[in-house]
Amino acid sequence: MAATIVTCPHCGKKNRVKPVAQGVPRCANCHNLLPWMVDADSSSFDDEINASVPVVVDFWAEWCGPCKMIEPALKALAEEDAGRLKIVRLNVDENPDIAARFEVQGIPLLVLFRDGNEADRLVGAAPKPRLEQWLEPHLGAATGAGT
């Protein structure tokens, strides 16, 4: 099980965060909730989409301009909704098997998962207010327990 290094926005400490089905990541130093944004590949994808909070999978590619446009908004949402949201990024060019499994026809594509099951989709590069509006009903029911 691979770990992602997440830098705490509060104290700057680097933390190893593994895919976990229960709880949410906290900084080992200051114990604040960490923004949960990770990269996945074919070997880690199924572990990464199972979490106690809603998971947004960003299907993207390096050459995709709109994909690059929404990345800052996704990072901001990961920080603002720390403990309530996990964002998983999957490069479709490097992981065509996963892209085919979820019938990705165009990117950027955001797929929201609850308990490992697809709950919603949003196609295209939406601005941050639209992303917040899309996520609101799903985050309202989310209650991440700290670990």
For domain 36-140, the question of CATH label 3.20.20.70 is answered with no
Q: Where are the domains of the chain?
A: 36-140
Residues 55-80: pLDDT tens digits?
A: 999 999 999 999 999 999 999 999 99
67 assigned to active site: yes
Residues 87-137: pLDDT tens digits?
A: 999 999 999 999 999 999 999 999 999 988 999 999 999 999 999 999 999
CA 81 to CA 89: how far, in whole Å? Answer: 17
Q: Which of 8, 11, 30, 67 is catalytic?
A: 67
Confidence (pTM) = 0.89
Residues 12/4, Cβ–Cβ less than 8 Å: no
Residues 139/85, Cβ–Cβ less than 8 Å: yes
